[in-house]
């Protein structure tokens, strides 16, 4: 069962006025969000490797909202959002920083950057990942890490799986 998103008032305003400063690619995703199509339907139509990430960004920025699972009676009624976590939501971990989890996240980010992009193109990002002293600092680097991964051909194929694994520990 897939998830369905609908445009918010801000999303409709963006379509009409282009005031949100969205890139053409992200705006195209917003246009296709209609409150009826599931994420799987959108994936089939748009063929974007990073669709889930793009939808998550649109959701966090308030352009779209999750209205329910595909096939449910409420799927065609975009006024009652379902209380579910954002697609790019970080896990809630127990209070206090866990040094083991922090090191796992740091190692995962560094290893995937080396494997899919290479050290040469991401040395600045790798230095900042190594210097991160808290989960919050690593989370601030998440979008840049994800963009670097999807910028490589092999990384694009694995991006959603890698993203999910990192979100488990970060």
Which has more confidence, 164 or 9?
A: 9
Q: What is the dihedral of CA 54, 19, 25, 45, to 10 degrees?
A: 70
Q: For residues 87 and 58, is the Cβ–Cβ distance under 8 A?
A: no
Q: Can you tell me the distance from the alpha carbon of 54 to that of 25, in angstroms, rounded to the nearest whole number?
A: 9
Residue 96 gets which letter from DSSP? S
pLDDT, position 48: 77
pLDDT category of residue 73 using cuts at 50, 70 and 90: very low
pLDDT category of residue 6 using cuts at 50, 70 and 90: very high
Q: Tokens standing for 110?
A: 């560094």
Evaluate if residue 165 carries a pLDDT over 50.
Answer: yes
Give the position of tokens 């979100």: 167
Weakest-pLDDT range from 74-83, 86-95, 160-169: 74-83
Strand partners, 64: 7
pLDDT category of residue 45 using cuts at 50, 70 and 90: confident
Q: Tokens standing for 115?
A: 């494997």
Evaluate if residue 82 carries a pLDDT over 60.
Answer: no
- Tell me, yes or no, if the pTM score tops 0.75: no
Q: Tokens standing for 40?
A: 């799987």
Residue 38 gets which letter from DSSP? B
Distant-in-sequence, close-in-space partners of 150: CB < 8 Å, separation ≥ 6: 49, 50, 53, 156, 159
pLDDT, position 63: 93
Which has more confidence, 15 or 153?
A: 15
State whether residue 65 is helix, strand or coil.
strand
Listed in sequence order, the DSSP H helices in the chain are 9-17, 24-32, 39-46, 51-60, 99-116, 123-131, 135-140, 142-150, 153-169
Measured at the CA of 108, the angle between CA 97 and CA 52, to 5 degrees, comes to 95
């Amino acid at each position: 069962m897939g998830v369905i998103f609908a445009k918010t008032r801000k999303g409709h305003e963006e379509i009409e006025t282009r005031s949100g400063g969205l890139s053409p690619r992200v705006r195209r995703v917003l246009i296709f969000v209609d409150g009826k199509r599931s994420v799987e339907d959108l994936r089939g139509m748009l063929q974007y490797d990073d669709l889930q990430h793009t939808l998550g960004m649109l959701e966090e920025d308030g352009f779209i909202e999750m209205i329910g699972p595909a096939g449910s009676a409420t799927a065609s009624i975009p006024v009652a959002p379902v209380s579910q976590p954002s697609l790019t939501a970080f896990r809630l971990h127990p209070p206090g920083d866990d040094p083991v989890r922090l090191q796992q996240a740091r190692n995962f980010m560094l290893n995937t950057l080396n494997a899919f992009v290479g050290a040469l193109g991401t040395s600045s990002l790798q230095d900042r990942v190594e210097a991160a002293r808290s989960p919050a600092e690593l989370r601030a680097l998440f979008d840049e890490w994800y963009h670097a991964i999807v910028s490589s051909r092999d990384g694009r194929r694995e991006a959603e799986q890698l993203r999910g694994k990192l979100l488990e520990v970060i």
